[in-house]
Amino acid sequence: MATAIEKWVDEQARLYEPKHVYWCDGSEGEAHRLMEMGMREERIGQHEVFCELNQKLWPKAYLHRSHPTDVARTEHLTYVCHSDREATGPTNNWMHPREAKELMTRLSRGAMRGKTMYVLPYMMGHPDSPYAKACVQVTDVSYVAVSMRIMTRLGKPILKKIGKSENFVKGIHSVGDFDPAKRFIMHFPEESLVWSVGSGYGGNALLGKKCFSLRIASWLGYKQGWLAEHMVIMGIEDLRGNVTYITAAMPSACGKTNLAMLESALPEYRVWTLGDDIAWLNIGPDGRLYAINPESGFFGVAPGTSMKTNPNMMRTLKTSNFYPTLFTNVALKTDTNEPWWEGLDGALPDHLLDWQGQPWDPSKMTKAAHPNSRFTVSLHNCPTLSPEYDNPQGVPISAIIMGGRRSRLIPLVTEAFNWDHGVFMGARMGSETTAAAAGRVGVLRRDPMAMLPFCGYNMGDYFRHWINIGRMMPRPPRIYAMNAFRVNERGEFLWPGFGENIRILKWIIDRVNGRAGAKETPLGLVPSANSFPVEGLDIPRQNLSQLFEVNEGEWQEEVEEIKNFLDQFGHRLPHEIRHYCNTMAARLQFGGRHT
């Protein structure tokens, strides 16, 4: 008797009509076969899918060049298809599930003719974790199969684990002909199904990542009493060996990967990495909030990564283990066959091919690497990987940070008065857009909890869910806002960031342990004079006061924008959020204190 998975895969094969169906088993031999397929058989336009890079200097590294239109997430083509439109909310694109399936079926018929359909059984989370989820994805490109082997726990044992059960998350993926007019990323939360055609890009195609682990999982969390978040998970160890675990939400390309593995500028701390993008948060038996990282790799931004900014990532990229390392849309240093991107250490190379494989001409002022070029690398290469990474229960969280990219207004760090106020702090977040999503870059938009593009249901209900989760914990984590991107009048960053961000974390840990002072502002609590650790910090004194400044005049516009944004959720907006919004507005205008 065929299992539920076999039946479902057969159904996809009948629709897509591939030449071969290949079930991935996760073995080493398979890794070679997949790379061979990508180097010798499959093509994207006139390019091969993979080219081998200098194996001496970059072990197991391969270059992938995408289709030129397929370089970032496409939020305008991403839909959440609840049968009840209201459940999707005002911040997601919606299509009725029936209509969406008809459209996707039409676009998919025969789309894998002459190709191989790879079947990928994988697990998000450690197989022994009560919080993990078993999944199956089909895809028609080796790049996605190889990427999923790095980013998830993929292999034969997962098939065995699912057995005859129908309880697995389904992902259907085909690159089609990369036509942006026929590109859709559809989510069906009611049946734990993601269906994506027309794009091979990370967040559009590695369906275990944003599509399942955030959009579908956030809905599951809403129904089942947990949270799926766009967050770093990290541990900070002091000299006595105490480790404080924190999570940090930041929008795409706003510093999560760099924070997750920072090399501490303060000798009394070291950082342990558990995850750089996604956290699943569950209330543990002791009433604390526990975090697991459902992923097993990094899909990180290349530009700006160097020995100076993120030495631990450079070490990760130059290490090799069982898995290959992929570089997508970076430039190529032709003399040595090495990957290259803007911000990498060393002099500008003499001969570069740009991210599309064309000779690069520096006088043209274009970037050689695409601004959203990325690497895909196993977490197990990371020298700061936490020994707790594989703990099936996760790690207990003491503080949650909500960060963003704001050139003005938002202080370096602010502590919330309490959980509900912290939820408001997350709900009012804004951030300047980046190259991680198609569209304009540097435009301010509201991005609550860094989940605007990833919340798989009505965000008004999501805020309510956050408030409720706080009620269920006797000892909830404290909540903080953070902004490392404030600039001066000349547009220069006021804060050095990267390894110096440990100072922000130190203040947070000291606060959690009752060891640091704070001063009240209408936004929340900021460090009191002398409570922020500045020893050895080499920045002009005035920068610090500018970093913590709350300019009440400038805030009026911000308050209006926050109110307008929150108003769209109507009666679904929790009254606690409206309360904190109103009191913040009143304090900014008339003064007064938190009571």
Among 97, 171, 202, 275, binds ligand SPV (CB under 6 A): 202
For the CB of residue 84, give the shortest distance to ligand GTP in the complex, in Å.
Answer: 30
Residue nearer to Mn ion on the CB measure, 159 or 254: 254
For the CB of residue 187, give the shortest distance to ligand SPV in the complex, in Å.
Answer: 14
What pairing do the DSSP bridges indicate for beta strands 352-353 and 133-139?
unpaired
Binder of residue 484, out of Mn ion, ligand SPV, ligand GTP, none (CB less than 5 to 8 A by kind): ligand GTP
Nearest residue to Mn ion, using CB?
A: 277
- Token match 């690069």: residue? 360
Binder of residue 255, out of ligand GTP, ligand SPV, Mn ion, none (CB less than 5 to 8 A by kind): ligand GTP
CA–CA dist 502, 236 (Å, integer): 9
Contact call for residue 183 and ligand SPV (CB under 6 A): no
Contact call for residue 247 and ligand SPV (CB under 6 A): no
Stretch that binds Mn ion, among 184-192, 270-278, 311-319, 372-380 (CB under 5 A): 270-278
Contact call for residue 295 and Mn ion (CB under 5 A): no
* Residues classed as catalytic: 254
Contacts of 69 (CB under 8 A, 6+ apart): 178, 180
CA–CA dist 121, 465 (Å, integer): 31
Phi, psi of 374, deg, nearest 5: -140, 165
Contact call for residue 252 and ligand SPV (CB under 6 A): yes
Residue nearer to ligand SPV on the CB measure, 230 or 511: 230
Structure tokens at 55: 């194996």
Structure tokens at 242: 């105490």
Contacts of 465 (CB under 8 A, 6+ apart): 221, 222, 227
Residue nearer to Mn ion on the CB measure, 91 or 108: 91
Coil vs helix vs strand at 468: helix
Among 133, 209, 405, 421, binds ligand SPV (CB under 6 A): 209
Secondary structure E strands in 140-278: 153-154, 169-174, 184-188, 193-197, 227-229, 231-237, 243-249, 270-275
For the CB of residue 465, give the shortest distance to Mn ion in the complex, in Å.
Answer: 21
- Radius of gyration over alpha carbons of the chain, in Å? 23
Secondary structure element (H or E) that encloses residue 338, with its range: strand 338-340
CA–CA dist 324, 376 (Å, integer): 9
Stretch that binds Mn ion, among 45-53, 273-281, 496-504, 550-558 (CB under 5 A): 273-281
Structure tokens at 367: 């970037």
Structure tokens at 189: 């939360």
Contact call for residue 277 and ligand SPV (CB under 6 A): yes
Among 30, 140, 276, 277, binds Mn ion (CB under 5 A): 277
CA–CA dist 378, 373 (Å, integer): 17
Among 65, 153, 170, 210, binds ligand SPV (CB under 6 A): 210
For the CB of residue 251, give the shortest distance to ligand GTP in the complex, in Å.
Answer: 7
Residue nearer to Mn ion on the CB measure, 291 or 588: 291
For the CB of residue 278, give the shortest distance to Mn ion in the complex, in Å.
Answer: 7
Residue nearer to ligand SPV on the CB measure, 252 or 431: 252
CA–CA dist 21, 10 (Å, integer): 9
Residue nearer to ligand GTP on the CB measure, 306 or 336: 306
Contact call for residue 229 and Mn ion (CB under 5 A): no
What pairing do the DSSP bridges indicate for beta strands 169-174 and 193-197?
parallel
Contacts of 123 (CB under 8 A, 6+ apart): 132, 133, 134, 135, 152, 153, 154, 158, 161
Contact call for residue 73 and ligand SPV (CB under 6 A): yes
Q: Which residues bind ligand GTP (CB under 6 A)?
A: 250, 252-258, 276-277, 300-301, 303-304, 309, 436, 484-485, 493, 497-498, 501
Q: Which residues bind Mn ion (CB under 5 A)?
A: 252, 277
Binding site for ligand SPV (CB under 6 A): 73, 202-203, 209-210, 252, 277, 299, 436
